[in-house]
Amino acid sequence: MAEEARAELETGRIHPTGFGLLRERISALRAELAALVGAEPAAAALTQGTTAGMNIAVAGLDWKPGDEVVTTTQEHGGALLPLYVLHRRHGVKVSFADVGNGEAGRALEALGRAIRPGVKAVVLSHVLYTTGATLPLKEISDLAHAAGCLVIVDGAQSVGAIPVDAPSLGADAYAFSGQKWLCGPESTGGLYIAPQALERFEPTFISFMGVDHDRYRWDDPSVLPVSPGAARFEFALPYRPSVAGLLASLTWVRDQVGRDGALRQIGENAHYCWERAQEVPGAEVLTPGGQLSGLIAVRVAGQDPVKTVERLAAEGVLIRMIPENGALRISTGFYNTPEEIDRTLQMIGS
């Protein structure tokens, strides 16, 4: 990233070779992002993060007053806020399915009651940011599609942490971030759009990034020649060092760490953390067993979670507090060790 920023400074952003290199990197990055979710390159778009992808997908549908969208009681603002805009701007009804802490049976039962013919879309997370539970997305998608609903997924905490095959899971749109489990820079991410659902989503914003330049005419507003695949939703020229940085991160994990090995290590660390968290005095582990991702959420009786996060940060241990449930959330990266997990839990319990 530093090298790319220096080249942009010294050579200038409009140098012809610079634009050519950027196009090549964007194309390569689309392919890498698509591979992460089991898709073909044409089904992936480069975005500025999960929230950007969720906004693109949610706003891309043809909403009318009285339409209904179903979500859950455990969603991040990146999924909820686009729905609230729909409610405010179009009079769309937002219904919440109470999925508890994300237990699979409870989630399916609650969503099964909420999803019915007439609901336009189901918008939910694959992995809940609040508890770390992995929802049974394939079964949920089957329910939604049987009722005629589209499925729009927040994958911020899943891609890079657990195996993801968006087409097999039945997602119509699947948004994810570059800066979390993919170890990339801020303001990067990807959006998968299922080929069979592509024409259901219209670009809300558009620029030269999403246009088929062979068919574009500057003097004919009746023709909107969008790119043939998901690239039509790329509406902003990305920051070049970020493109280079995310591409470097993804290829490093793929070629040197090994994607399968990274996922396996994250899972092993999460399982170890979940088991050891049961031993923390006064702790309630909110993450359902058997549905582990890379997030373990713990709530400790009588403890101020904000102060706990600050106390651990002062010692170089970084966790976060979840405001919706007051939990302490531990992320078990592939680069973490059992000793680090033990130390973290010991500090939480002290």
16 pLDDT more than 90: no
Per-residue DSSP letters for 292-334? --SEEEEEETT--HHHHHHHHHHTT---EEETTTTEEEEE--T
Q: Tell me, what's the pLDDT at 131? A: 98
On the question of pLDDT at 12 being above 90, the answer is no
CA torsion 121-126-129-134 (nearest 10°) is 140
Does residue 217 have a pLDDT over 90? Answer: no
Rounded to the nearest integer, the mean pLDDT of the chain is 96
pLDDT band with cut points at 50, 70 and 90 for residue 30: very high
Amino acid at 240: R
pLDDT of residue 167: 98
Q: Please tell me the pTM assigned to this model.
A: 0.96
Q: What are the chain's domains?
A: 2-255 (3.40.640.10), 259-349 (3.90.1150.10)
The string of pLDDT tens digits covering residues 307-327 is 999 999 999 999 999 999 999
In this model, does residue 236 exceed pLDDT 90? no
What per-residue confidence (pLDDT) applies to 227? 92
- pLDDT confidence band for 193 (50 / 70 / 90): very high
Q: What does the pLDDT read at residue 13?
A: 83
* Residues contacting residue 125 through CB under 8 Å, at least 6 positions apart: 72, 74, 75, 76, 79, 135, 153, 154, 155, 156, 157, 158
Q: How confident is the model over 50-88, as pLDDT tens digits?
A: 999 999 999 999 999 999 999 999 999 999 999 999 999
